[in-house]
Amino acid sequence: MLDFLNKTYPFNDDPKQNLKLSLGLSLGMFLFILFFQPIDLKTTDFNNKLLIIAGFGGITFFSMITALIIAPSVLPRLFMSGKWNFKRDLFLNTCIWTAISVASIFYARYVGQTKITFYSVFMIVFISLVPVAILIITNQFEILKAKLQEALNLSKKPDNTSIEINEPEKIEFESENKSEKISLQLNEIIMLRSADNYVEIFWEKEGEIKKKLIRQTLHNTEYLLAKYTQIIRCHRTCLFNTNYVSKLNIYPQGYKLKLKYIEEEIPVSRQYLLKVKEALQIK
């Protein structure tokens, strides 16, 4: 009955995106309390009230970055790609809601001098749920967007019955605004790396290395390549083809991959180290 809780669920491990989302939701919390004043603050001085309300936004921000940025970097195994599921995501969101609610209640009581009643506690708990709900909706939107992109790419592929058996499968990468696209064979792709709002694709063609920037997110690109087991993530900014790995080097600051045809070494974060090792042992 509750088997869906163990279903694999993607975790957004992009710190930059999570930071922007946390800032936006914290600002939203501040503006909501400022304009609607659902919490009875005893102070009558506007500047003092403004500072106290800003504190609620600060609580929201700190709670969210702790759960979405600090915790994944300190405990990477818990947030490991491929092992994250719906149950863990539900627990994480509940923790965020609880942290914001409890901290806001104490803050309202001892800083805002709010009288703690059933109504005031209910309002704080309810308001604290809003940023969590928006976080869940935003993540769902990103997942649906990535799946839609994947479905569109699949629908554009020709019928397999018209393709020769020995013809290598081609993967079509398309920009978000549909203005440009590139088709590559799976065995040509060396690595894909995020560059702000773009993805930089490296591939090999007859011994020559080529690369191209496409306006797309690495998150969406990972969904597109999810069914290809030889393309895996080694870092929040990088996907690589295991067929092009020359060596996995270890340094005092961590692990790095040496890829064929690529001069620079690619960092391997602790969050993906186990998966990378497993993939390289299979080869």
pLDDT above 90 for 201: yes
Query: Of 37, 28, 107, nearest to 61 (Cα)?
Result: 28
Tens of pLDDT, residues 17-27: 889 999 999 99
Tokens 């915790």 correspond to 71
Measured in whole angstroms, the distance separating CA 201 from the mean position of its chain's CA atoms is: 20
Q: Determine the average pLDDT of the residues in 117-141.
A: 92
Residue 94 phi, psi dihedral angles, 5° rounding:
-65, -40
Q: Determine the average pLDDT of the residues in 11-32.
A: 89
pLDDT above 90 for 108: yes
Measured between alpha carbons, how far apart are the two ends of the chain, in Å? Answer: 38
Domain ranges, ordered by start, for the chain: 3-153, 168-282
Residue 22 pLDDT:
94
What is Dmax (Cα atoms) for the chain?
Answer: 78
Contact call for residues 237 and 218 (beta carbons, < 8 A): yes
Q: Determine the average pLDDT of the residues in 28-36.
A: 93
206: which DSSP letter?
T
Residue 267 pLDDT:
92
Q: Which of 72-76, 132-136, 214-218 has the lowest mean pLDDT?
A: 72-76
Tens of pLDDT, residues 231-265: 999 999 999 999 999 999 988 888 999 999 898 99
Residue 165 pLDDT:
42
Residue 282 pLDDT:
47
Superfamily grouping for domain 168-282: LytTr DNA-binding domain (2.40.50.1020)
Tens of pLDDT, residues 131-164: 999 999 988 887 787 677 767 655 655 554 443 4
Which tops the pLDDT comparison, 214 or 11? Answer: 214
How much is the pTM?
0.60
Residue 167 pLDDT class (50, 70, 90 cuts): low
How long, in residues, is the chain?
283
Contact call for residues 39 and 124 (beta carbons, < 8 A): yes
Q: Determine the average pLDDT of the residues in 112-123.
A: 92
